[in-house]
Amino acid sequence: MILLGPTGVGKTELSLRVAEHFASPIISSDSRQLYRDLPIGTAAPTSEQLSRVKHYMVGTLSLTDYYSASNFENDVMALLSKLYKTT
């Protein structure tokens, strides 16, 4: 599921409810929430929200880390393969 919308419309709470219902993690594609040094300016999930559901791609990088869209694609594809392995 992809959840899109402007800032401040409740995407985070909706994503948490959906993830809790389906016992599924959240993989953020917000290019700014990747950086752990920007919690306020990016409306990053709170520690309470992060504790409710496993989040990926949130607060994982330092502002000095180089990270491109290609890096993101590679990391997410590897993560999806790991999370949803079919046997």
Residue 75 lies in a domain: yes
Residue 6 placed within a domain = no
pLDDT along the chain (87 residues), means of 10: 87 94 93 81 84 94 94 96 78
Does a structural domain hold residue 20? yes
In a domain, 3, yes or no: no
pLDDT of residue 39: 65
Number of C-beta neighbours around residue 58 at 10 A: 20
pLDDT of 22 reads 95
Please state the pTM of the whole predicted model: 0.84
Reduced to 3 states (helix: H, G, I; strand: E, B; else coil), residue 26 is: strand
Q: Which residue type occupies 79?
A: L
Residue-level pLDDT at 58: 93
For 72, the 3-state DSSP assignment is helix
Would you say residue 45 lies in a domain? yes
Q: Give the model's pLDDT for residue 84.
A: 86
Quick one: residue 63, left, alpha or beta (phi over 0 = left, psi -120 to 50 = alpha)? Answer: alpha
C-alpha distance from residue 28 to each of 44, 86, 87 (Å) = 10, 22, 26
Q: What pLDDT is recorded for position 87?
A: 43
